Amino acid sequence: MMKKLLLGLLLLRVLSSHAQENLDFNAKKEITSPEINADKSITFRLMAPNAKKVELQGDLLGATNTALMEKQADGIWTYTTSSLKPELYSYSFIVDGLKIRDANNVYQIRDVASVVNVVIVPGGKADYYLVADVPHGTVAKRWYQSPGNNKQRRISIYTPPGYEAGKNKYPVLYLLHGMGGDEEAWLALGRTAQILDNLIAQGKAKPMIVVMPNGNVAQQAAPGEDSKGLYKPTMQLPNTMDGKMEETFADIIKFTEANYRVNANKTNRAIAGLSMGGFHSLHISRYYPKTFDYVGLFSPAIMPFGKTTSPVYENLDVTLKNQFNNGLKLYYIAIGKTDFLYKTVEDYRKKLDGFGVKYNYVESEGGHTWSNWRDYLVLFVPQLFNQL
């Protein structure tokens, strides 16, 4: 009996020692990546002991876009950036030519057909992108019937803090994405809910409803979220910038005003969008000239993509003049200095200048990027509905 007891204790000790060794091994292999340092530089780490070459790729590297990582003795590759400005950055690793994501960072975003990791360097404008200890709004993914497209479609809608418990009516901002995006783009890449929560909490913006539709009328919803199942997203879809989105936009307004407590008049409606969404905002607002008092064009495309016979784009000069003659409280245009659409926007501004109309113009550094579009949203939203 005593021998069995001693044998059992010895076995328990061996197993305990082996388990402890495993715990110690795992603890040594724990990797933190990304790590934001005190000087706001970021250190990235990747365990790849057999790799021959590992690179970091991302917008945080500026124009170079890629940087070689250095292999350490333990098989972990590392790279530390210089001090960075507060911002939301995206990145990936390239291991021997294969792009992969950071396995130690669970925060990822899909942009069209690419999935990248993200990291936020806090402070300054980036604090708008973080969840703060303030009252929060609600984001709903709703389905609505679109008679103009003969299908059910999904839409994302932000309601401000206190909406569910109150009875107040609110103004509405219709916020449109760019080519390749969908009803999730402004929430995921644009951090719209966080921005609105923080601006409202700081008293910099009026409480409002934000409606984020899918601007691709060939889709019911974002890829993987409709009856087509799981498929690879693409940039160019049928009916892209051919007038169909503008022609059927009334379906979105009708759904919003039938299902939410809104002040359904021109004074309480705004529309804005980036790139293709800026194109849609420009043409929807002039096609329905007595519908919106506030218009925001962020890095907008100006003319249709390809050939179209839609009546939406006819008589541009006449309809623009009519729109401005009807009265606008804000017509806002913003673009980066190196944006590939800069010249077309410059030409469009010359047209407006020739009409003698007033508009607000913001010119920023950088190009056709979410960094700029988030900035424009933060600047645009506080200017809405100030007379209410």
| Pair of tokens at residue 208 | 């409002």
- Show Cβ contacts of residue 14 under 8 Å, excluding neighbours closer than 6 positions: none
Q: Are 196 and 210 within 8 A, CB to CB?
A: yes
110's enclosing H/E stretch is strand 108-111
CATH number of 35-122: 2.60.40.10
Q: Are 300 and 273 within 8 A, CB to CB?
A: yes
pLDDT tens-digit readout, 17-47 = 444 443 343 345 789 999 999 999 999 999 9
**C-alpha span between 104 and 45 (Å, rounded):** 9
pLDDT tens-digit readout, 185-243 = 999 999 999 999 999 999 999 999 999 999 999 999 999 999 989 988 888 788 888 99
Show me where the domains of the chain are located.
35-122, 128-383
pLDDT tens-digit readout, 40-72 = 999 999 999 999 999 999 999 988 899 999 999
Which residues of the chain fall below pLDDT 70? 1-28, 304-307, 387-388
- Specify whether domain 128-383 bears CATH 3.40.50.1820: yes
Compute the mean pLDDT over every residue in the chain, rounded to the nearest whole number: 91
**C-alpha span between 120 and 58 (Å, rounded):** 13
Classify 242 as helix, strand or coil: coil
The predicted pLDDT at position 236 comes to 79
Q: Are 362 and 333 within 8 A, CB to CB?
A: yes
Tell me 320's DSSP state.
Answer: H
SS3 letters across 67-96: EECEECCCCEEEEECCCCCCEEEEEEEEEC
